[in-house]
Structures are given as structure tokens and as C-alpha cells.
Chain A
């Protein structure tokens, strides 16, 4: 159906056509829905548009394959909130300290003490760096070591896009179950669920593309370890 662009029919057509997406998703008001219904009865173009939009709507609502696991990212948010809380508390304490009617000379004295303390700490830090350079390995960890969970034999990190079904299949295949985690870095503690040797479970986990990291935490675990994968590097 074609309309004269200046006519009231054309304006009505344009107005109704622009509402079709919300007619499709069901969020349109009752009065507008009735107007669109009435227009659809006499407008073939809008009926065709409606059918197309329903196709798009259905395709966009088809089930997605990716499922997100929010636990690890929630832990990171909690760590940020902890940081904000600690910074606010320190700021408040500092303000309270400096706000107690101090005399000008006290400020100058405090500043000079602070400068001396800074100089001393720089000196000490320099000495410490020299000492570290002689003794420390050429890598460092960025997270705190966590206590070993009871029954834990392996720690593992999974892909953030792993689905719950996939995760369960991976655990079943390797004969392990989750006993703790995730840590701030998204690391899970796994305990043996079967008599399968830890070596074998590790090999199965590492062979899976959805497992980003897997390492034994058993004391005295004998394996030909690769550089950078010792217990000290467990996230």
C-alpha cells in the first residue's frame, strides 16, 4: 500500500510502523496496541514488516551457547570494594589526625619528620632491592598464597565461558569434585572423587581446552614439573 506522504494516512502509517518493534516485544500500551491492530488490518506493508520483525525477535531470543559464571568476577568486585573501604578509613583517620587544632610549627616539624622518614625508606628500599636482585628468582607472583583446602589434590582455573554442564562433564571425566573456590583469581580447589591417580586426572584436565590451568597441590607430588608451574605459582 502506498500513501501520499503529506496525507494523514501516511502520517498514521509512519507512526504505527515505528511502534511495531514494541508491538512485537509486548511492551506497548493497550491503546496503542489497538491502533496498531487496526492499522495492520488495512496495511500490507506493515503486515510484512511485522512478520520480518517477529523473525528478528525470535532469532535474537534463541538460546545462547555461552553461559557466564559470575563468582570469580564478583570476588574481584568485592576486592575493589574492600580497597575503597580501606582507603576511605585511612583518609578519615588522616583527616582526624591533622584536623586537631595543630600549631603552624607542628606542621613544619611533621613535614620535616616525614621528609626524613621518606629518605630513610628510600634508602632502605634501595638496599632491599639490591639484596633481592642477588637472591630473588626472575619472576614474581601477584596474588596471596591461599590455604590448602581439606582433601584438595589439584587446583584448576577454567575458562570464564565454560558452561555448568561442560564444567560438570570435565570434573566427572577427571574423577574430581570442587571443594573450594573460586579464589580472587578464579582458581578452584579439587578433591579426588575416584581412585584415579592424580597424574591421570591432571593429564585429563590439562588436555581439555576449557581448562586454563591445573596443578597438583599434594605435598611431595612427583611429576616432571615445568618451569613456572610449581606450587609457588598457583593462583
Chain B
């Protein structure tokens, strides 16, 4: 049963953040190491460049360090941190948009394609995800990879629940259009299971 472990992880995060608010660099480092992997995975949906991912993570934890004392427990610590990362990444994306040297954002999707990925579905999915606007792509990532609830995603992205549902709806529609073979495979597997 994972419920108690989940609770204790949340409590541990809260304790760490309280220590960060009190000025503990060690607590900040512990939080950083605990969140680095999932943030890196999440942010790699924004940008294929590791340097950018790292910069966004560090900007996020700089913000955590500076504003930990303002955290009011209105949400979970994880929702708060991922929300900061989300907004930092959007800012970074807008900055890059204004830099001619950074190239067109439309180029990014193609750059994120990893030719070493072997599984066909993953291959198609990755291409399909890269065709989606960033908000839709990240809504899928927050729900399907990070396991966040509808309300948590609304808190992270600072959007109404209806907007999150609409983004998810459009993302699913586009993916379905882009991945016709997925719909066939799904239908087959569904038919077999019934």
C-alpha cells in the first residue's frame, strides 16, 4: 500500500521547505536532489537542450530559496515547486522567442526527436507530442507522466479547471489525428480484452 508513503513524502517536503524558509541550505539541496529528476523530465518537454533545462531548474530553486517563507500551504509543496518551474519555463520560452539567435520555436519539435528510441508507439507519440502547443503538451505530461489530478494541474498552471480540461481535450484530439495507428491498436487491444 503506497498511501502512507505518499503522505510521509509530502510531510517530508513540507518539513524541508520550512527549513529552507528558516535559511537551511542543506534542506534546499535535499529538495533540489529530490526534485531534479522529475523536473528535468518535465522540462525536457519544453526544450531539448540540457543547458536550458538546467538553467530553468536552477532559476526555479533560486525562487524557492527566496520565497519559501511566503509559502502558505494552500497547495502541496510539489504542486508549488512544479508550478514555479512551469512559469519559469514559460518565461524562458518567451525570452527565447525574442532572441533571433535562439532560432524559431517551430524548430524545437524536430530537434527533440530521439532517433535511438526503438519502440514504434513511443516514436510516433514523441513526434505527435512535439506537434502540440506547449501548454497542451505539458498538460499531458503533468497528467500522464507526473500523475497530477485535474485540480493540481489547474493550481500548477494557474488556470481554471475548465481550461485544463479544454487543453487536454484538444491535445487528445490532435494526438488521435496524428497517431491513427494508435487508435487502431487501441481498438484492437480493447476488442481483445472484452
Instruction: Give the interface of A toward B (CB within 8 A).
Output: 18-19, 21-22, 24-28, 47-57, 59-62, 64-68, 70, 73-74, 76-78, 80-81, 84, 160-161
Contact = CB atoms under 8 A, between A and B. Distances in A.
B9 interface: no
Contact of A65 (B114, B121, B187): B114
Contacts of A19: 150
B127 to A, nearest CB: 12
A27 to B, nearest CB: 4
Contact of A59 (B36, B41, B122, B193): B122
Contacts of A53: 172
A60 B140 contact: yes
B36 A68 contact: yes
B33 interface: yes
Interface residues of B, number: 50
29 contacts: A19-B150, A21-B172, A22-B150, A25-B144, A47-B194, A49-B172, A50-B190, A52-B176, A52-B182, A52-B183, A53-B172, A54-B186, A55-B185, A55-B189, A56-B140, A56-B144, A56-B172, A59-B122, A60-B125, A64-B41, A65-B114, A68-B53, A73-B57, A74-B32, A76-B58, A77-B32, A77-B58, A77-B61, A84-B62
Contacts of A52: 172, 176, 182-183, 186-187
A59 B119 contact: yes
A21 B61 contact: no
Interface of chain B, main secondary structure = helix
A21 to B, nearest CB: 5
Nearest to B128: A56
Contact of B58 (A28, A73, A84): A73
